[in-house]
Amino acid sequence: MGSDDTRQGETPVALITGASSGIGAATADRLAGAGWRLLLSGTDPDRLAEVADRTGGKALPQDLSTPDGPRLLADAALAATGQVDVLVASAGLGWRGPFVQTPPDAVDRMLEVNLGAPLRLARELLPGMLARRHGRIVLLGSMAGQVGVRDETAYAATKAGLAMFAESLWYELRGTGVDVRIVLPGPVDTPFFARRGTPYQRERPRPVSAGKVADSVVATITTRRDRVFVPAWLAGPARIHGLAPGAFRRLADRFG
């Protein structure tokens, strides 16, 4: 973490979910370069093993779409290193199409992976962080959770819930030495869209690289920045939506 709260002589430990590709893998590369010990979780054992070999991390494959998955992952992480200083919850699932056509199992999986798993992992790991009086919970939100997105209704709802979890937990953790951060990207050039079955089709905003988002994740760990939009200009539309949602909807209808 930052120089103000890294304990001298200790190598910090980060647990990264969704680490087999995309933002999670890019974040692992960044933190490995900075000398962190890494615990890497994902559902693709082969790709996860490649990231672990590249970064010197320990692979902990786990399916977070099951209610027991987060607890099993937390137990494995603590058994491997004794403590987790930073949780980077970057695993996520999406689905695009009208809400009435969204398969019920897709809704369930998004609720578990995008919202349930970060909450459950935080619940498992926070006691140790609070006892040591240092730690970070870093959540990967989405612009969709700030303003809503047509045909991504369930996904947007899970990310909105994650944003309110971050906001509420921020108040609880003040003065404890443990902090919560949220990174709010727009579309990102990762396998996310291929896995959801529909490519990204909007003209704007243009997708950013996973590495750019990973840089922001690291910034929230090593600085006091606790809410970061990627790219930064997306903070503007989010503010307009908050101040004047009617005007924002009119603009969204006009410009897509």
Provide DSSP, 212-227: HHHHHHHHHHHSS--E
Look at residue 157 and tell me if it is in a domain.
Answer: yes
Q: Is residue 163 part of a domain?
A: yes
Predicted local distance difference test score (pLDDT) of residue 240: 77
Nearest to 166, CA basis, from 138, 134, 186, 144: 138
Residue 140 has a pLDDT of 97
Distance CA 114, CA 141 (A): 9
Q: Model confidence over 99-130: pLDDT tens digits?
A: 999 999 999 999 999 999 999 999 999 999 99
Task: Name the CA dihedral angle for 156, 93, 183, 10, rounded to a multiple of 10 degrees.
Answer: 150
Sign for the CA dihedral angle at 107, 151, 169, 38 comes to positive
Q: Give the chain's residues under pLDDT 50.
A: 3-6, 8
Q: Please report the beta strands in the chain, taking only residues with DSSP state E, as ranges in sequence order.
A: 13-17, 37-40, 58-59, 86-89, 135-140, 178-185, 188-189, 208-209, 227-230
Q: Which of 154, 63, 157, 151 is nearest to 113 (CA)?
A: 63
**Residue 238 falls inside a structural domain:** yes
- Distances in Å between the Cα of 60 and the Cα atoms of 9, 69, 102, 161 are 26, 11, 30, 26
Quick one: what percent of the chain has pLDDT higher than 70? 86
Q: Give the C-alpha separation, 153 to 110, whole Å.
A: 11
What local confidence, expressed as pLDDT, does residue 247 receive? 64
Residue 195 lies in a domain: yes
pLDDT of residue 175: 95
Q: How far apart are CA 230 and CA 190, in angstroms?
A: 14
Task: Report yes or no on 6 lying in a domain.
Answer: no
Whether the link from the prior residue into 205 is cis, omega within 30° of 0, is: yes
In-domain check, residue 245: yes
Determine the Cα–Cα distance for residues 75 and 15; give it in Å rounded to an integer. Answer: 12
Number of domains in the chain: 1
CA–CA separation, 241 and 248 (whole Å)? 5
Backbone angles phi, psi at 60, to 5 degrees: -130, 75
CATH number of the domain to which 94 belongs: 3.40.50.720
pLDDT score of 239: 79
For 215, the domain range is 13-255
Q: Is residue 210, in this structure, part of any structural domain at all?
A: yes
Residue 38 inside a domain? The answer is yes
Residues in the chain: 256
CA distance 75 to 68: 11
Closest by CA position to 82, among listed 132, 116, 33: 132
Q: Bridge partners of 17?
A: 89
Q: Which residues are catalytic?
A: 155
The pLDDT value given to residue 246: 72
